[in-house]
Structure 1
């Protein structure tokens, strides 16, 4: 465009400038109004979504198998081949399960090591657990119907029946993997607990077995039990009987006698994990059955009980015992807590007792639940701990084992279903 004079150029620029300002003034209100417009649209969208029926999330009442974590990693269980068909086989497994009043049927267990199930010649091992029965009258409706039933396989359980089923399977796994061992159940004398099975002893110990104080009472019961064992030794008992104190929601999947044979110098053994605040788990405590071992273990647990009672009563229902254990161990001079970061057994002198620390990864392994990083099951796992709602998985894994008689396949079942959120 060519302008004949400076005046023409000035008039043109004035016109363009005026037009630009007019357009700017026209769009200016939109700058302030647009955020409000978007907010109204979002509110309208939310109101529509809110009016729609919400999806109800129901928890699974059966195994949900997924890929087995840890494939290709060293020292991790590798599940391949026929395990992919477990979900088809599992529905048929219950028909092969047979449990009578005297105990469980003999199972073909050629996969289990045929080595001695004792730590040395003449020694024996007993598993000790604390268990009591609570009043379950609130589980029944006025018309006699039982509430809160949970179905596993083709059997339904009330709350009380679930606990008894878990206790039965705890015993089942021990009798399969360590058939020469005994099981001792420490219980409230007021509890109507009767176990008509070979190798099972119900051992009443007075105490406060309220749910809120059960973990505290468990330590007291352990101490009382050890005191009575000391009395037997003072009366000339010669036979050595080692003790493994455990929760009742564990499955022993391999012989544990080697602990007392391979580590001959410890008085008691604890299991540890790489957890800064709770490195020790009280669900597995082994005690050597000599007079010195029982005495040292009793003194150690008495110190734990004292710390528990004075410092952690606010956690008396749960975790207080583990916090007290950690305090007793970590408060000792020169103890190096960095050892908890490596899954390797080690010995330490704690308060005059020789304490063997065993990795949870082998002796107290817990299937993961829900989201989180998961590297699979250790290849040498010997004890599986079905904490919390995982107890359903404990029942289902026994049901499967009773039909397959194969620990390896059962561990793969646990590994493939360990990320399921259970409701038990």
Structure 2
């Protein structure tokens, strides 16, 4: 008998193309490419790396036994040398105009690779949380897999008629059944994405496709999105856990540029605070990005 060990890994998609002439030199840093954060100045790749580093640091504090897996283009200039961080090349079109479409494809390719490991005798269970790379993890999210033992894939919802689901947080149970069913559902979402929302391949298309797949399921009641409690529903053969954005994918209600703090029960703030160059640490304090 093998002892079953359960762990949780965060998976994100990020790529950098630092192939501009003179990249990294003082002459390269033109004013149009500079982002000011507090008293520090970043070029665009530098800002992306600063956000990624903050993302990793939050996980180190809130979930120190978790790993971070970064899916990136094979020719990306992304190099991260940190403990418990793995950079995994994935073939595909990572151009900015294809960003969200490629992210969905990358998730599917990644799940396929992990499913093969399980089918070839891997005994440990590794759950996965797919997220944006500009978010803060301010609490231990492993409790999701313990508190809700009967789901294959988890997404976050909000009471928004046009965009009820936020694709910036997707959790997958790391069993053969969980990964295979989550992969099949995401493949269905990808097909709808390409057929119906191809003109939104850069932004929002994945959320629109995800919502279309779920809301079009005959037994699904969209009125559940108006509530603020987690619920589970069977969607195309997969048990989907719906978690409220107010706790698991929180965005400041004031809107961009008006961040004044967050509720104490938030587990996972969304990216809006980061876009205003401020991050929230595990104590709920404001910290400059640099």
Same fold (TM over 0.5): yes
Bigger share in strand:
2
RMSD of equivalent CA atoms: 2.4
Alignment of 1:245-264 (within 5 A): 245-264=130-149
Bigger share in helix:
1
Pick one of 225, 230, 240 that aligns with 1:355: 240
1:117 is aligned to none
**In structure 2, the residue corresponding to 1:354 is in which secondary structure?**
strand
Deviation at 1:366, TM superposition (A): 1.4
Q: Distance in 1 between matches of 2:257 and 2:274?
A: 15
Alignment of 1:119-130 (within 5 A): 122-130=5-13
**In structure 2, the residue corresponding to 1:256 is in which secondary structure?**
coil
Alignment of 1:200-349 (within 5 A): 200-349=85-234
Deviation at 1:214, TM superposition (A): 1.1
**In structure 2, the residue corresponding to 1:383 is in which secondary structure?**
coil
Q: Distance in 1 between matches of 2:23 and 2:128?
A: 38
**In structure 1, the residue corresponding to 2:278 is in which secondary structure?**
helix
Deviation at 1:288, TM superposition (A): 0.2
Deviation at 1:408, TM superposition (A): 3.0
1:369 is aligned to 255
Q: Distance in 2 between matches of 1:141 and 1:128?
A: 27
Residues 1:146 and 2:32 are matched in the alignment: no
Give per-residue Cα distances to partners, 1:84-135, cap 9 Å, x unaligned: xxxxxxxxxxxxxxxxxxxxxxxxxxxxxxxxxxxxx721000000010034
Q: Distance in 1 between matches of 2:180 and 2:14?
A: 24
Residues 1:181 and 2:66 are matched in the alignment: yes
Residues 1:167 and 2:23 are matched in the alignment: no
Q: Is the 8 A contact 2:256 2:272 kept in 1?
A: no
Q: Distance in 2 between matches of 1:370 and 1:220?
A: 29
Distance 1:188 1:371, change over 3 A: closer
Deviation at 1:389, TM superposition (A): 6.6
Give the structure-2-normalised TM-score: 0.91
Q: Is the 8 A contact 1:139 1:158 kept in 2?
A: no
1:385 is aligned to 270
Distance 1:235 1:213, change over 3 A: same
1:408 is aligned to 283
Q: Distance in 1 between matches of 2:96 and 2:50?
A: 19
Q: Distance in 2 between matches of 1:356 and 1:122?
A: 23
Greater mean alpha carbon deviation, residues 330-339 or residues 351-360:
330-339
What runs of 5+ residues in structure 1 fail to find an aligned partner? 1-120, 402-406, 418-424
Give the structure-1-normalised TM-score: 0.63
Q: Distance in 1 between matches of 2:176 and 2:26?
A: 56
What count of residue pairs does the alignment treat as equivalent? 282
Q: Is the 8 A contact 1:136 1:159 kept in 2?
A: no
Distance 1:359 1:208, change over 3 A: same
**In structure 2, the residue corresponding to 1:274 is in which secondary structure?**
coil
Residues 1:194 and 2:79 are matched in the alignment: yes
